[in-house]
Amino acid sequence: MFTGIVEELGAIISIEKTLAGTRMTVLASTVMGDLKIGDSVSVNGTCLTVVNKSETSFSVEVSPETLSVTTLGQLTAGAPLNLERAMKLNERLGGHLVAGHVDGIGTVRSRQQDGNAILFTIEAPSEILRHCIVKGSVTVDGISLTINQVTDRGFSVAIIPHTAKVTTLGLKQVGDQVNLESDLIGKYVERLLQERGQLPAKPAPVIDKDFLQKRGLL
């Protein structure tokens, strides 16, 4: 479990692809403090397990499934990464409860300066938007953000200068894709109401060409 408060920007040292999966080695400093093999780390919002480490880097293994449903499969050596270690229960929850289980991929549709902030509009799948509310929380590439506006196509968030400086969002441009995780509590509430018959069941996804392309299956 994570908070969505990025601890540092790391960078990919190398990506090794095999038939069994992909191993990614990441350059880092802050998160290396008490990191151990077997620990969970949020990498651009994706919960991954540390399988090897040195003083300045750690390695994670990424399954084909994870590569197909997140943006990790698009990355190359040198790419910056948002990093966060798993939260401790005796520390402040600065963001919101984040599982590190990416629900889908969004696309940046606009980036505008708004005073000292940057206003991003992100197109998102309907299964994510159903859990988005104004002033609610959403996770974008592992960053806990407050939703400013919601439409039937996407949502907008405002990024303060500090967030733009210490995360990958400051580098994002129109057309770039991001990992999205909708609010964990909202998903549980929806599930409980469905079980009680107070909400219609979640519709099954339409398996069409667009669905398959987004998951790297075409």
Q: State the sign of the Cα–Cα–Cα–Cα dihedral 162, 90, 182, 104.
A: positive
Same fold, 8-85 and 104-195: yes
The CATH code of domain 8-85 reads 2.40.30.20
Looking at residue 188, its pLDDT comes to 76
- Bridge partners of 210? none
Domain ranges of the chain: 8-85, 104-195
pLDDT score at 181: 96
pLDDT for residue 18: 79
Q: 3-state SS string over 95-116?
A: CCCECCCCCEEEEEEEEEEECC
Predicted confidence at residue 166, as pLDDT, reads: 96
Q: Indicate the fold that domain 104-195 takes in CATH.
A: Elongation Factor Tu (Ef-tu); domain 3 (2.40.30)
Per-position pLDDT tens, the chain of length 218:
999 999 999 999 999 987 777 999 999 999 999 999 999 999 999 999 999 999 999 999 999 889 989 999 999 999 999 999 999 888 888 899 999 999 999 999 999 999 999 999 999 999 899 999 999 999 999 999 999 999 999 999 999 999 999 999 999 999 999 999 998 887 878 778 877 776 565 555 566 666 666 555 56
pLDDT at 102: 95
